[in-house]
Structure formats: structure tokens, C-alpha cells
Structure 1
Amino acid sequence: MRKHRAKVRENASYRPGPGAVRPGCSCAPSHTEWSAMPTDPRSLMYLRFARPSLSRTVALALTCITLVACGGVDTGASSSSELPVAQADPTLNAKLPDKIREAGVITVALDVAYPPMEYFDTDGKTMIGLDLDFGRAVAQVLGVEIEFTNLAFPSILTSLQGNRFDMTITAITDTPERRDVVTFVDYLSTSGNVLVAKGNPKGIADFTTLCGRPVGVQAGTTQLADAERRQAACAAAGKPPITLSTFQTNDAANLALSSGRVDAVYSQSIVNTYVMAQAPTTYEVVGEELNKTPIGIAIMKDKTRLIEAVQGAVQKLMDDGIYAKILAKWHLESRAIPTATINGGQ
């Protein structure tokens, strides 16, 4: 059995911005600060929850209003060495496709622009986040190495179809439309919610009060499609439609919120929880969580042996308690699911 290690490749054309400074500080960024990089807009074919790639360039434009307090906040963005090493399971290793088992490595595509799920550490090169820790643990159970490649999100499913990668672990939501192409091994639950300025100066109570208001949302995301569907409720109530302003990145939408160009931002609940933890005096969430869906590891439907092996590995991590430790490290215990379902249990 090969000794497990995680190899990381990086798309050289897809790089993070310069370092940010902490609000109210002239100091250099600390390890606790989370970074990301701008991403291309998502096509509707590859709908995904809005990714708040809070780029450090945007953070500077906000005059040091970033998502970290001056004293720093422990985001769990340290080495995965603090997590227990999962024990390899020879039975699950034997279920792997021969090509993967013989090579001793599983290849994973991910879009490193979505803290706390995956993003670049302050060195601008090291990939960190829940998905990387989780992917390493899955590989440990399977008894293989893992190789992560950073890829723009709209290219990921196409790359899976072209057999460039074995799977993707990149906080991709498990939707019926995507199941036509891939099979999901679910490992988290998520939803969308509405982010407003701290103190809610516009008096937004829930999604229905957004009729006639400017709302920011990342292009090509599940939130955009959901917001467009909710326009019917405004019409039924005799109210003007929501003015949807789309942005290439969620950080741009948040910048529009902080500058008053939009009254709210509709984005992913996992990210908004993280945003509020880092900037409790800047943002808050209003209303209920909407459009609840699972997040899963996506694998081409015809790779049945790989799907079975990965599902077994995820379930073993859940049973052994390592799954809970990974979620606790990233403060996402509330997003846990009890079993490694396939396609949302459908």
C-alpha cells in the first residue's frame, strides 16, 4: 500500500490577488485571514451556489473592511496534520477501478475560490479548506494518494466528461439537472439566504420584502435561478419585480452591498455563516434559509466502482468520527448529514 500524501497542482492562469490587510490595521495579513481569487461567471448549465471569492484586491478597495477582525480569528485554516489520519480500508481499495488502484492516485478538480470550502492560504499558493481536508481523508481510507487541480468552475464538469479527472470535490450542489451527467456522493447540506448590512438599515424582513429592491447575486449560480423563479411572487402580490444585479464574483456583490448600490445579496448559507463570523459588525443575515440542497462529490455516472468505493469511504469517515472533526475544524457542524447518500437519497 502506498503511503498517502496529497499532491497539489495549480492552474497557472488562475491566480489569487495580492495580500490584504486587516481592518483598522497596517499589519501584514496573518494566517487566520482567508483569501480567494476572482472567478469567471458561472453558466446556467453549471449552476452552483454563489461563491464569495472575497478577493484581497476588493478588500483593499473596501479600505481595510475585510472579513477578519484586527486581532485575527481562528478559521481552522491550518495544516490538515491536526486532523487524525484515517485508516486505509483494503476492501474499499479493492473496489477502486483498476486504473486508479494501479496508479495509486485519485485526481480531483476543484475551484479554489470559495472559503471556507477551498481557497488559497496567505502565501497565495497553498490550497486549504474543508473540501481539501475531506478529500485527503477520503483518499486515506481508499489507500491512495490524491492530486488536486485548481480549475475554473464552468470547466469542471466538462473536464470530468473528458476523463481528465476522476471526480470533483468543490462544494457542488447535488441537483436533479446535474444528475443527468454525474452521480453525487453527498457529504453536506446547504441552502441560500439573504445577506444585508449590519443593523438591516433597509428593513428587509425576508425574501418577499425584496420586491422592487436592488439585489446582488453572482452570475450563473443557483441563487440567481432561484431569485428569478421567485419573481412570480412579487407579480402575484402586485409588487414590482426584484431588480437583480449580477456580478462575476460574490465579493463584487458584497462590495455593492457595502457601498449601498444594492440592498441585499442572495448567496450561499455556508459562506454567509463564515462571512458573519469574520465580520460580525459588517453584515447580518435576515429571513429563513431557502432552497435547501445537499452538496456532494461528483463522479461520472458510468464509474460505478469508483462511486461505490467513494461512498464507502465517506460513510466510514462518518462512522469513525473523522468527518465530524473535519466539520468542527471549519465550524460547519450544523451542515452535517447522517449518511453518505447517493443523489440526495433519490
Structure 2
Amino acid sequence: MTHHPPRRRTLLRALPAVALGAGAAPALGACTRASERLDAESNAVPEVDLSGIEEVPEIAALVPAHIRERGELINGAALNYAPGEFIGSSGEAVGYDMDILAGIGRVLGLATRTEAAVFAQIIPAVGATYDVGISSFTVNAERLEAVTMISYFQAGISYAVRAGNPYGIDPEQLCGKRVALQVGTYQEELSLERSQECREDGQKAYDLLAYASNSDAATNVAGGKADILMADSPVTAYAITRSRGTLEGIGEIEESALNGIVVAKDQPELAEAIRAAVQHLIDSGDMQRILAAWGNESGMIPTAEVNPEP
């Protein structure tokens, strides 16, 4: 069966692991060597040297005085979404968004700090508790009504299979296939809809394997316990990079949409400063270097915009 393009463009962020119930399938203990390697690699955090990024005075001059005087840019992020933003082994905020934030700070001549937050509570707090929200926010019309957003990355839904695709999986023909994903995500919701389409066409529904984390889902695809991984494209790309050849991408990215940095609507000067800093990182090659370190250079965009079209 060939699927019609999904109707929704907004990607839903995964629920924090602590909120997951017993419905999540456990990672299986009898993993192959391939899956063991992937599991070990999934916690690897690349070190990105940002010391070569220097302050750009004409961009730094755009920063509002109260932030300039404070000397620090404060970010709110939900630290449960590797590789964008998550908690490292020492309890620090890590991920490509955190490296991008640090790069922006260096261009603006500011220190940066990220405070952990519940995803749904970040946007209401930007402009008060936080200066910005860099937390894998998809740009959409509803958010643009509430805040200003600066585009910096592009993401969608993508797939991975065991290297060599030994089961001959086609992501457009998944009826009856073992689909691994993280519980509580948009991918789970979408898979349930597509499973119903399979039934209506007289075929078997998806055999959904919903795990507590994307790492568990990817590990079980690499180990042959599932046929295909379905996740946000940054997550899939990161899993492939860390798999040391045990996973490969398959199919096209679906529902591609821009991610944006959130700034309060009454802070146009800060929005322009952030846009200019992001564009500088793009033009200098530092953005590509950061994203490549996290296996996500495919999410590069050429131009940063304030309030781009969703």
C-alpha cells in the first residue's frame, strides 16, 4: 500500500521518559553484537571545538542593552530529545542545539546558559524567564501568532533499517511490518492512523514496537528485533551515525519543516541579533561543522529568517 502524505506538518516532541507508562516495550536483552555496539554508541557525545568562533561587533551591537549588561543569554529547553538537547553524563545540557546556542553566544560576545524546562512551558516563559527558546521547535502558524521564530534547521520524519536491508523493507509498504518507534511521539500517532488504513485495505496492521526511548528502538532494529526505525530525521541521522555501519537510512524525509529559535514578539532587536548570528554561523561553515559532528548536516539551511513561512 502506498501512503498518502501525512496531513499534519507539526512534529510532536516525545514525552519525557519519566512520563512513560508500562505500554512501552522493554529493550530486549538478547541483543546481537551489532545492537550491543549501537547501544554503547548511543550515549556518545561529540566534542565540538567552538573556540575559533569570535565575537562579531556589528552583530553584537544589535543585542538589547539589558542582555548586554547582564552578559549572558538565557535559554529554556526540554532536555529529553537527543541529539538536539539532552542531559550528558555529567548532568550538563548537551546536543547540537546547545552547541548552536554556544556558537550564537560567541558571535554575540555573550555567555550562554540553558535551564531545563517542560517543553510546553517554554514558549509562555520566553521574554520573562528565558531570553530565547532553543529546543527543536517546529515553525508553525500557531506558534508564530504567539512568538517570533528564527529559522536555523530543517527536520521531518525519516527511517532506518538494518544495514543491507536484509528484510527488503520499503517504508511505503509497512503493513504487517515490525515498526520500532518511541512511545508518545507523533510517529506513534501517525503509525496508528496508517495501521488503520492497512486494515481498511484488507492487509495486516503495523506490528508496532513502541519503546521508552529512540535509542532502544534503534538498538532493536540494528539487532534484528524490529524491521524499521521511524523517528524524527535528526534522531534517525544520529542513530545511523552512531551505529558504526549497523544501520542505514531508507526512503525520503516526510513532512519536512523548519525548526526555529523562539524570541518574544516585543524583542525585535534580539530577534535580528539572533538571526544575524545564525547566518554568520552558516556562512562561516561553523553551523555545518556543528551539525556534522552530530550526524545532522542534512538539516542545514542556507538562510536564517525571522518568521519564515511554515
Q: Which TM-score band applies after superposition, normalised by the shorter structure?
A: 0.7 to 0.9
- TM-score normalised according to structure 1 size: 0.68
- Residue 34 (structure 1) aligns with: none
1:216 is displaced (CA, Å) by 3.3
TM-score between the two structures when normalised by the length of structure 2? 0.75
Paired residue total:
291
The 1:264/1:178 distance shift into structure 2, 3 A limit, reads farther
Distance 2:265 2:129 in 1: 15
SS at match of 1:291: strand
Contact 2:48 2:293 in 1 (8 A): no
Query: In the TM superposition, what is the alpha-carbon distance from 1:60 to its structure 2 partner?
Result: 9.9
What is the SS of the residue equivalent to 1:206? Answer: coil
Asked if the contact 1:59–1:66 (Cα under 8 Å) also holds between the matched residues in 2, the reply is no
- Partners of 2:15 and 2:184 lie apart in 1 by 11
Q: Which residue of 1 aligns with 2:123?
A: 157
Q: Is the 8 A contact 1:49 1:267 kept in 2?
A: no
- The unaligned stretches of length 5 or more in structure 1 are 1-43
Rounded to whole Å, the distance in 2 between the matches of 1:221 and 1:240 is 22
SS in 2 for 1:156: helix
Structure 1 residues 152-190: Cα deviation after superposition (integer angstroms, max 9, x where no partner): 4344334438x3212222233223343343332111122
Partner of 1:130: 96
1:183 aligns with 2:152: no
Q: Which has the higher contact order (CA 8 A, sep 6+)?
A: 2
Structure-1 residue corresponding to 2:110? 144
- CA distance in 2 between partners of 1:116 and 1:87 (Å): 26
Query: Structure 1 residue 310: deviation in Å?
Result: 0.9
TM superposition shift of 1:309: 1.7
Give the match for residue 239 of structure 1.
203
Q: Report deviation, 1:297.
A: 1.3
1:104-141 Cα offsets, whole Å, 9 max, x none, are: 211112233444333444x4324333222211111122
The question of whether the paired residues in 2 share the 8 Å contact of 1:210 and 1:242 is answered with yes
Report whether the alignment pairs 1:223 with 2:223: no
Q: Which moved more, 1:305-314 or 1:221-230?
A: 221-230
**In structure 1, what is the Cα distance between the partners aligned to 2:108 and 2:268?**
15
Sequence identity, in percent?
Answer: 29
1:340, distance to aligned residue in structure 2 (A) = 0.2
Aligned twin of 2:55: 87
Say whether residues 1:99 and 2:66 are aligned partners: yes
Paired position in structure 1 for 2:160: 195
Partner of 1:321: 285
* 1:1-346 correspondence runs (5 A): 47-48=11-12, 61=29, 65-68=35-38, 77-78=46-47, 80-81=49-50, 83-89=51-57, 91-121=58-88, 123-160=89-126, 163-207=128-172, 209-228=173-192, 230=194, 234=198, 237-254=201-218, 257=221, 262-345=226-309
Q: Retained in 1: the 8 A contact 2:27–2:216?
A: no
Cα distance in 1 for residues equivalent to 2:308 and 2:281: 18
